Structure formats: C-alpha cells, structure tokens
Chains A and B, each alone.
Chain A
Amino acid sequence: QQQVKQSPQSLIVQKGGIPIINCAYENTAFDYFPWYQQFPGKGPALLIAIRPDVSEKKEGRFTISFNKSAKQFSLHIMDSQPGDSATYFCAASNPETSGSRLTFGEGTQLTVNP
C-alpha cells in the first residue's frame, strides 16, 4: 500500500515533443505528490509538487495532472529540450508515517534528442 508505481522506465522523445510520465498509488492517505529531476552524478532536485485537492499545476514547461479518483498523477514536459534529459522520480508523502517519509517511484530515464 505504500508503493508508488512509475512508468515508463525509459522514454525517448524528439526535441519539442511532450513526454508524459505516469505514477499510480494505492494509499489514499498520501497527501503530497512531488516530482524530482536528477542529472547524472547529482542529487535529485525538487521540480514541482501538487496536493490532492488540485487537479493540475503548472510551473514553466512542467505540468502535473492529478486524478484523485483514479489515484494517478502524471508529469508533462512541454516543448522538451535536450537539457531536460535526466531521470525523473515521482513521490508521495503520508503524514501518518513517522518522519513524514516520501515513497518514491522507481524513476524514468528521459532522453530528449536534438
């Protein structure tokens, strides 16, 4: 129940395309859903986050779509660029757990070709 399932494992798009990464969860106690971007050899960086009372959030070219009834959320990257090539992780937070730990998806390796 604490799992977050992320897909696809890898994704290749052309520059300007709109990659979409999906995550699904079971635990309805999750109340916060961040996305992280990680470049090779670097720590993950917080990209964008959403709460379950909002269906969509945009920050620049990055959009989170959230479907509470389906228990799914996704990251869309508009007008993708080669510099967006990185590994993306979704996560979910359960306030009922000690330390408010994040549960992470397994990651999606995105490649944006020029």
Chain B
Amino acid sequence: SQTIHQWPATLVQPVGSPLSLECTVEGTSNPNLYWYRQAAGRGLQLLFYSVGIGQISSEVPQNLSASRPQDRQFILSSKKLLLSDSGFYLCAWRVGIAIGNEQYFGPGTRLTVT
C-alpha cells in the first residue's frame, strides 16, 4: 500500500533562518506531488506541484522554493524565513490524471517562525 511521510512533524525557526521540509512517498511510481500551506483556521493554499523529477510549477510567488530530486521525494525550501511563513505545511500525492485518481495528504509539518 502507498504511504506518505513528512518530516519534521514540528519545527520552530527564527526569522531569517533557512528551511528544508521533506516529503517522501512509498508504494507508487511517478506520482504527481503537491505542497500546500494551511494558515490557522484557514483553507488549503497550493504552493507547488510537480508532475515528474525536476519539474516544478509554482502557484504563488513567495520566498519558498521546491525541488524534486527523486521520483518519490519532494522538498520545500527557503533561504530566509519570514514570520508570514508560519503555518501547517502539507505534502500530497496523486497518481496519474485519469478521472477518479484520488489525492492523498501526508501528516503535515507545523512550522512556527519566531
């Protein structure tokens, strides 16, 4: 069966520090991968998505970046964190683009920028 992992689970970082969040998927090949951010009590904001290794599309301009160095690995990074980067970061995966191919979320990383 497929599983998705995110780490770390929680992170407290000072303003201006770098960031690296990692997401890995097991049990599937060539998934579409997504990074979302969720502010407290708010909806899901799509940040980046990837349809293949090295292919990254950005939805929202910001000081974050994403990379996909391997088929089932998706990394979210920042060189200098801002207070506004605080939130709940969710990785998700989906296989293919056919109708009914479900999208599954990981457990999330709670980031607090101080």
Contact = CB atoms under 8 A, between A and B. Distances in A.
B100 A104 contact: no
Given A34-B102, A99-B51, A101-B34, A41 B110 contact: yes
B49 A99 contact: yes
A100 B90 contact: no
B107 interface: yes
A68 B49 CA distance: 29
B105 A45 contact: yes
A104 B44 contact: yes
For the residues of A in contact with B, the DSSP-based class is: mixed
Assign chain B's interface to a size class.
20 to 34
Interface string B34-48: 100000011110100
B107 A100 contact: no
Contact of A43 (B42, B57, B101, B107): B107
Interface string B92-114: 10101101111111111010000
A101 B59 CA distance: 11
B90 A43 contact: yes
Interface residues of A, number: 24
Interface in A100-114: 100-102, 104-107, 109
B32 interface: yes
Interface in B16-46: 32, 34, 41-44, 46
B99 A95 contact: yes
Contact of A51 (B41, B50, B96, B100): B100
Contacts of A42: 107-108
Contacts of A12: none
B105 A99 contact: no
A44 B50 CA distance: 20
- The list of the 9 closest CB pairs from A to B, nearest first, reads A43-B105, A100-B97, A99-B49, A106-B43, A104-B44, A43-B108, A44-B105, A43-B107, A107-B43
Interface of A: 31-32, 34, 36, 41-46, 49, 51, 89, 95, 98-102, 104-107, 109
